[in-house]
């Protein structure tokens, strides 16, 4: 009896293998190094093609997808990847188009067996789902869900000289790198609904306007707006963002700011007595209370200054020129961003500036006026 049962099981397994369409096994076994079909994490990504180094880019007015060079400010190069609620496949949303425009397969050309790449709204059509399978080199195959012809088609850049629009094509071992994509994580935080780089009250307002129907959200913004990650965007997300921002306070230059937040330090300066030929000054701060973000520093009205921020707690800068600087009128000469560590035990601090040297074209010492403004940017 046991032998007969084992024989029946073997027959059923063989029949099951025979019934699996060839296109399923092509993805899982035909390309060496391919792992599970849900290797990618949810998030917002740039898609860089391995063969060309070009990025999958949406032309929003035409709702087409083409290859282009990287541009950080191009929302058309952002793709939101979300796992399907039911079957572990993915949806890929455009970061440039409003609401839920998803990457999908268009019409199949009978001659080439390739399909166009389209962006369509909706939830019921299985063609809207994709598979993202990671290879040993870190790249991914991105394939469309099976259509009625049971052919697995891979997202690829077209052959050189045949256009710029991306396409879905059957696996091609002679051109495999054109079908491989690197998923590069975009630097956005959950809750940054307006995508300005910070989480603050402006995001809460934007989300409330969306919920009231006066604003729309792109695919990337939809992902960022679901702050509590329950799959639904509602007023609970706005409340969760507000609670997140309700951090302990620290006093900086006499004003209260949130711990964990970033702030912009703006130094304005004026010298009305004469044009300035040279200057040197120092910004000083407690490095245990605030952290200087070096990439953020910018200067204006004082030529091309040299600065040194290698010593924690000080930013020293100087500038000189045979063509004097016109500092007539109080206006910014430097801006920089700092972050307050969430775990700092310091409750009060200051960010100070001292102009150490200021002279005119005849090397006479000058005097000026300064004003410092600190603006909280968010988390």
Average pLDDT over residues 61-85: 88
Least confident of 16-30, 31-45, 190-204, 343-357: 16-30
Residue 7 above 60 pLDDT? no
Residue of 187, 172, 147, 226 lying closest to 26 (CA atoms):
172
Written as six digits, the tokens of 135 are 């290879």
Determine the Cα–Cα distance for residues 242 and 221; give it in Å rounded to an integer. Answer: 17
Q: What is the mean pLDDT of the chain?
A: 86
pLDDT exceeds 80 at position 273: yes
3 band by pLDDT with thresholds 50, 70 and 90 = very low
Delimit the domains of the chain by residue range: 34-185, 201-245, 249-378
Q: How much is the pLDDT for 376?
A: 95
pLDDT at 68: 93
First to last CA, the chain: 68
pLDDT of residue 21: 33
Among 92-96, 226-230, 363-367, the minimum mean pLDDT is found in: 92-96
Q: What is the pLDDT of residue 303?
A: 95
Residue 313 — left, alpha, or beta (φ > 0 → left; ψ -120 to 50 → alpha)? left
pLDDT at 154: 94
The mean pLDDT of 125-141, rounded to a whole number, is 82
Mean pLDDT calculated for residue range 129-134: 85
Average confidence (pLDDT) over 301-312? 96
Higher pLDDT, 226 or 32: 226
pLDDT at 148 > cutoff 70: no
Share of the chain above pLDDT 70, in %: 86
- Residue 47 pLDDT greater than 90, yes or no: yes
34-185 CATH pick, 2.80.10.50, 3.40.50.2300, 2.40.50.100, 2.40.50.140 = 2.80.10.50
55-59, 72-76, 100-104 — which one is most confidently predicted on average?
Answer: 55-59
Note the residue count of the chain: 379
Confidence of residue 41 (pLDDT cuts 50, 70, 90): confident
The model's confidence at residue 150, banded by pLDDT at 50, 70 and 90, is confident
Q: According to the model, what pLDDT value does residue 40 have?
A: 76
CATH topology (fold) of 249-378: Immunoglobulin-like (2.60.40)
Output the pLDDT for position 332: 97
Please state which of the ranges 108-122, 251-265, 318-332 shows the lowest mean pLDDT.
108-122
Q: What is the pLDDT of residue 8?
A: 39
pLDDT of residue 86: 65
- Window from 34-43, 170-179, 194-203, 281-290 with minimum mean pLDDT: 34-43
Average pLDDT over residues 151-171: 87
Q: What is the largest CA-CA distance in the chain?
A: 110
Residue 122: per-residue pLDDT: 67
Q: Looking at residues 190-198, what average pLDDT do you find?
A: 94
Question: Do strands 43-49 and 180-185 pair parallel, antiparallel, or not at all (unpaired)?
Answer: antiparallel
Of 3-17, 25-39, 101-115, which has the strongest mean pLDDT?
Answer: 101-115
Q: What is the pLDDT of residue 83?
A: 82
Indicate if the pLDDT at residue 16 is higher than 80.
no
Q: What is the pLDDT of residue 214?
A: 94
Q: What would the pLDDT profile of 315-371 be if each residue is shown by its tens digit? A: 999 999 999 999 999 999 999 999 999 999 999 999 999 999 999 999 999 999 999
């Amino acid at each position: 009896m046991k032998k007969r049962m084992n024989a029946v099981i073997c027959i059923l397994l063989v029949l099951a293998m025979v019934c699996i369409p060839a296109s399923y096994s092509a993805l899982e076994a035909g390309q060496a190094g391919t792992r599970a079909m849900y290797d990618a994490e949810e998030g917002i990504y740039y898609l860089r093609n391995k063969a060309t180094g070009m990025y999958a880019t949406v032309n929003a007015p035409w709702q087409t997808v083409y290859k282009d060079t990287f541009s950080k400010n191009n929302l058309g190069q952002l793709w939101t990847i979300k796992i399907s609620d039911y079957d572990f496949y993915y949806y890929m949303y455009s970061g440039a188009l409003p609401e839920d425009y998803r990457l999908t397969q268009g019409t199949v050309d009978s001659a080439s067996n390739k399909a166009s790449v389209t962006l369509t709204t909706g939830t019921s059509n299985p063609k809207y789902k994709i598979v993202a399978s990671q290879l040993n080199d870190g790249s991914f195959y991105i394939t469309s869900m099976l259509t009625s012809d049971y052919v697995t088609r891979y997202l690829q850049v077209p052959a050189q000289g045949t256009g710029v629009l991306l396409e879905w094509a059957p696996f091609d071992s002679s051109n495999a790198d054109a079908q491989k994509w690197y998923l590069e994580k975009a630097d956005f935080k959950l809750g940054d609904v307006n995508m300005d780089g910070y989480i603050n009250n402006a995001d809460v307002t934007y989300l409330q306007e969306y919920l009231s129907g006066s604003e729309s959200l792109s695919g990337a913004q939809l992902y960022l707006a679901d702050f509590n990650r329950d799959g639904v965007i509602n007023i609970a997300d706005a409340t969760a963002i507000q609670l997140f921002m309700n951090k302990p306070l620290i006093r900086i230059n006499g004003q209260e700011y949130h711990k964990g937040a970033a702030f912009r330090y703006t130094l304005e300066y004026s010298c009305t007595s004469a044009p300035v030929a040279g200057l040197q000054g120092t910004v000083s701060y407690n490095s245990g209370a605030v952290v200087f973000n070096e990439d953020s520093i910018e200067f204006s009205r004082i030529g091309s200054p040299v600065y040194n921020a290698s010593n924690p707690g000080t930013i020293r800068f100087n500038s000189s020129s045979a063509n004097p600087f016109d500092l007539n009128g109080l206006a910014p000469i430097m801006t920089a961003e700092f972050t307050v560590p969430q775990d700092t035990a310091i409750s009060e601090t200051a960010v100070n500036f001292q102009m150490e040297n200021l002279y005119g074209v005849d090397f006479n010492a000058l005097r000026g006026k300064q004003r410092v403004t600190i603006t909280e940017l968010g988390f």
